[in-house]
Structure 1
């Protein structure tokens, strides 16, 4: 227990590393990298679906973070700030490579009204195997996979997703609704296997 840092100690240590990075310390950069690289790699991998590509994106994101460290104001945790850089860089690169496979995000023809209580299909996610949920998300068309990854896995809210994907709130709600509906259909297939 003596080796475990409390949350406050962890925050102080991170703040100290950030300050040392601002002063140009390569050791501090290396320590921050070691502290966050696994989580940031996994974030990139969930978006781009390629280990080598995710590694490159993660490295480039850290470089960007270290060169822009003075713009970090501490309004959110350093991990959240870094994650946003990784997500944006992952999406930008993914879109460049996959222009042909991605449908334009703003090509949504109708608005889906918010479903009332009891209107959505009920699936007991607690009983499902996590790999089934992940496999179902990965099998969705790219726009749906991206939006659900940002929503469920990365934990962004709709407003943040609008900003990240550069779409308006109505289109975002529609895409999330359609993606959830598609995911529920995929999961019901797993339920009957």
Structure 2
């Protein structure tokens, strides 16, 4: 914390490298969080860039920032959520789920392919959730943040995080059960 405060002060004093030293350790984490929320590398870059600009402006305006890392992570997540909301209003999230590199089926054992297919199916189900539920699942399971950290990042109470995580799990269970039923029906060859 004291080191962050020193970098903040150096930034205010005109040291051009100070801001970089302050944010650089956080960039990979905030980018991956933004990319998970937005399902787009391009939009994740925009969200992180917006957060960087906002952070720099806040520092230069003299805003008191006690825990810079937590504050910056929260701001970056909020910028990503803002872009996700804007994007959902514009095109209802019509982009592809992710860019998955093609699998060389002859080069990999069948078990690895089945695991990868299951992981892709789970990720697809997670990404089909609405933004509040998708965000908590991604932050909790993929970013491995604690409930308290998610609360800070999203700017909501811990109880709200718990509630959203519980509801998201229930939705994922229903999606999984529905998907499994479809597989059984396809395997048996039943046609409606």
Alignment check: 8 A CA contact 1:36 1:79 kept: yes
Alignment check: 8 A CA contact 1:151 1:161 kept: no
Q: Does 1:49 align with 2:34?
A: no
Gap change, CA 1:92 and 1:27, over 3 Å in 2: same
Gap change, CA 1:45 and 1:184, over 3 Å in 2: same
How many Å separate the matches in 2 of 1:37 and 1:67? 17
Alignment check: 8 A CA contact 1:138 1:145 kept: yes
Pick aligned residue for 1:181 from 150, 157, 170? 170
Match of 2:82 in 1: 92
Alignment check: 8 A CA contact 2:55 2:72 kept: yes
Q: Scaled by the length of structure 2, what TM-score is found?
A: 0.60
Alignment check: 8 A CA contact 1:58 1:86 kept: yes
Q: How does 1:126-145 map to 2 (within 5 A)?
A: 131=119, 134-145=123-134
Alignment check: 8 A CA contact 2:136 2:150 kept: no
Match of 1:67 in 2: 57
Higher RCO (C-alpha under 8 Å, 6+ residues apart): 2
The SS at the match of 1:39 is: helix
Question: Greater share of helix residues, 1 or 2?
Answer: 2
Q: Alpha-carbon deviations, 1:10-48, whole Å to 9, x = none?
A: x55433222212223211112223222211111111111
Q: How does 1:81-120 map to 2 (within 5 A)?
A: 81-99=71-89, 101=92
Q: Scaled by the length of structure 1, what TM-score is found?
A: 0.60
Alignment check: 8 A CA contact 1:151 1:158 kept: no
Which deviates further from its counterpart, 27-36 or 181-190? 181-190
Gap change, CA 1:33 and 1:161, over 3 Å in 2: closer
The SS at the match of 2:54 is: helix
How many Å separate the matches in 1 of 2:69 and 2:155? 20
